[in-house]
Amino acid sequence: SGFTGQTMRVGTAHSNHTPPLLVSRLFQPSNLREMKESGLEGRSGEMTCRSQKLMLKGGLIYPSNPGCYYYLPAMVRSMEKLVRLIDQEMQGIGGQKLDMPSLCSAELWQRSERWDLMGKELFRLRDRHGAEYCLGPTHEEAVTELLASQGTLSYRQLPLLLYQVTRKFRDEPKPRFGLLRGREFYMKDMYSFDASEEAALITYQAVCQAYNRLFSRLGLHCVQVQADTGNIGGRLSHEFQLLADIGEDRLMVCGNCAFSANAETMKPGQTDCPQCHWGTLTESKGIEVGHTFYLGTKYSHIFDAMYNNSQNKPVVAEMGCFGLGVTRILAAAIEVLSSEDAICWPSLLAPYQVCVLPPKSGSKTAELAGVAEELCHSLGESLQSLKGEVVLDDRTQLTIGKRLKGAIRLGYPYVIVVGKSAADEQPQFEVLCQQSGETLFLSREGLMDLL
């Protein structure tokens, strides 16, 4: 379990301060051996990829049943950070956040004919009256029906961009690779309504740009490829892919021009570029983290989502839909950035930014425990960005080396060791910076500058 026996006493020397976050108190269960013995690994499919192993070992997730996980507190912190960034980007292009029901009536899905088309992937259930429902795997039907039920919009209200971040349910044939392919997962799905094809394509480009901005803020190299529209329907589509060997998509990228596509969209064996007819295509594997669709009037036509144009004539709205795999992005980021035994987060998404290690209890420098505690406090107080982001590894019955190893494995962007040089007249702290891999010896002022 994540609980350990003996812990350091804190909150005495500075009792007027809010006590620091203590590692000994964090619920971050990570006893992998126990998990193996109890067969829990098997419950979630084979532990076949790096992100799944690291997330299980790091106490970020815990398997429940195939393709379903408990998201543990550190994971939730990271997810909330990602959602905040997504909110910024979506609201930056005019998106308005809403939240739609997960229980979706069969009738809605029958009108779009996807009740049958979705086949076994749809989780279906009945209520006490015998009415049929599915657990929403996506929400084109729901959002379009919502809009249509409000009566005819005015062209002045367009473009209208509505999005949500909610759990989606899909009975995947092969749930696997941890959060990369779950049966219950978080998705950001945005739906756009526009007055014309031209306007819808402008919205489409704006969303693609926002996606690219998001991935570059995360420090993730994302490839935007032409894609199939699948059973969502529509005419134009792109996927946002992170290159990784365990990726389940095959991508073809031209060495000469900007052409790139999911191999599904191409003739098998085509190796010359269909765009420049000169470059050769190289194949790589990718993890699909986002997908954009220009839908045209497919759903608005079925559900009568209309707007009045400037001549006050009712016209069917043009739509787009835009998905981001929230939990998949977290796993995929860990997958592509981390080493075999240490998590590396996009720094904006690390659950905590800083871990402070006080000396082992009973050691010569044990009296520095107070310095460590005070350091935690002053970092959180003097740097707004670090408020609530600093943890104190108070498990001082363990050696510094052992705790340091654990901290490195969890991927804190900064680990500060309060060792014997912190007792010097001009105290120095040892700082491990994960991004650069450097270890620095810094004064308190140096630390503040760095962080």
Binding positions for Mg ion, rule: CB under 5 A: 288, 291
CA 34 – CA 40 distance, rounded (Å)? 9
Which residue's CB is nearer to ligand ATP, number 291 or number 403?
A: 291
Q: Choose the contact partner of 351 out of ligand ATP, Mg ion, none; CB within 5 to 8 A by kind.
A: none
Q: How far is the CB of 330 from Mg ion (least distance, A)?
A: 18
Partner that binds at residue 328, options Mg ion, ligand ATP, none, CB closer than 5 to 8 Å by kind: ligand ATP
Q: Identify the residue among 87, 132, 172, 264 touching ligand ATP (CB under 6 A).
A: 172
Q: Which of 139, 135, 150 is nearest to 98 (CA)?
A: 139
Among 50, 139, 176, 181, binds ligand ATP (CB under 6 A): 181
101 binds, among Mg ion, ligand ATP, none (CB under 5 to 8 A by kind): none
CA pseudo-torsion sign 24, 27, 31, 32: negative
Cβ at position 248, least distance to ligand ATP in Å = 6
Of 170, 238, 298, 403, the residue at the interface with ligand ATP (CB under 6 A) is 170
Q: Where are the beta strands (DSSP E) in 317-421?
A: 318-325, 354-357, 390-392, 414-417
CB of 239 vs Mg ion, minimal distance in Å? 6
- Beta pairing class for 318-325 and 314-316: unpaired
Chain residue at closest Cβ approach to Mg ion:
291
Which backbone phi and psi does 38 adopt, to 5 degrees? -85, 0
Q: Least Å distance between CB 228 and Mg ion? A: 8
CB 307 within 8 A of CB 269: no
Q: Which does 286 bind (CB under 5 to 8 A by kind): ligand ATP, Mg ion, none?
A: none
DSSP 61-117: EEEEETTEEEE-HHHHHHHHHHHHHHHHHHHHTT-EE----SEEEHHHHHHTTHHHH
Nearer CB in complex with ligand ATP: 159/182: 182
Residue from 59, 178, 296, 323 touching ligand ATP (CB under 6 A): that is 323
Q: How many residues bind ligand ATP (CB under 6 A)?
A: 16
Residues 221-250 that bind ligand ATP (CB under 6 A): 230
User: Could you give the CA distance from residue 268 to residue 275 in angstroms, rounded to a whole number?
Assistant: 16
SS3 assignment, position 192: strand
157 C-beta neighbours (distance < 10 Å), count: 12
Q: Which residue is nearest to ligand ATP (CB)?
A: 325
- The DSSP letter of residue 181 is B
Q: Which is nearer to Mg ion, 236 or 383 (CB)?
A: 236
Instruction: Locate 240 and state its tokens.
Output: 């946002």
In angstroms, give the least distance from the CB of 123 to ligand ATP: 12
Least spacing, CB of residue 181 vs ligand ATP, in Å = 4
Query: Applying CB under 6 A, which part among 158-166, 177-185, 296-304, 392-400 lies near ligand ATP?
Result: 177-185
User: What's the token pair of residue 170?
Assistant: 């899909």
CB of 288 to Mg ion, least distance (A): 5
The yes or no reply on residue 141 touching ligand ATP (CB under 6 A) is no
Per CB under 6 A, does 187 bind ligand ATP?
yes
Tell me if residue 382 falls in helix, strand or coil: helix
Out of Mg ion, ligand ATP, none, which partner does residue 338 contact, by CB within 5 to 8 A per kind?
Answer: none
- C-beta closer to ligand ATP: residue 153 or 227: 227
What does 289 interact with, of Mg ion, ligand ATP, none (CB < 5 to 8 A by kind)?
ligand ATP
Using CB under 6 A as the binding rule, whether residue 328 contacts ligand ATP is answered as yes
Q: Which is nearer to Mg ion, 188 or 291 (CB)?
A: 291
Q: Nearer to ligand ATP by C-beta: 162 or 187?
A: 187
Q: Give Cα separations from 381 to 375, 384, 430, 447 (angstroms).
A: 10, 7, 21, 14
Give CA–CA dist 346/243, Å, rounded: 16
Judged by beta carbon distances under 5 to 8 A according to partner kind, the member of ligand ATP, Mg ion, none in contact with residue 41 is none
Contact 8, 358 (CB under 8 A): yes
| Cα-based distances in Å from 268 to 194, 238, 251, 264 | 36, 19, 12, 8
Give the footprint of ligand ATP on residues 269-308 (CB under 6 A).
Answer: 288-291
Comparison of 166 and 421: residue with beta carbon closer to Mg ion: 166
Dist CA 289 CA 202 (whole Å): 22
For residues 113 and 128, give the distance between their C-alpha atoms in angstroms, rounded to a whole number: 24
- Site for ligand ATP (CB under 6 A): which residue of 63, 159, 233, 325? 325
Residue 221, helix vs strand vs coil:
coil
What's the first-to-final CA gap in the chain, in angstroms? Answer: 32
Whose structure tokens read 């905040």?
A: 84
Shortest gap between Cβ of 249 and ligand ATP (angstroms)? 7
**Contacting residue, 59, 95, 182, 234, with ligand ATP by CB under 6 A:** 182
Residues that bind ligand ATP (CB under 6 A): 138, 170, 172, 181-182, 185, 187, 230, 288-291, 323, 325, 327-328
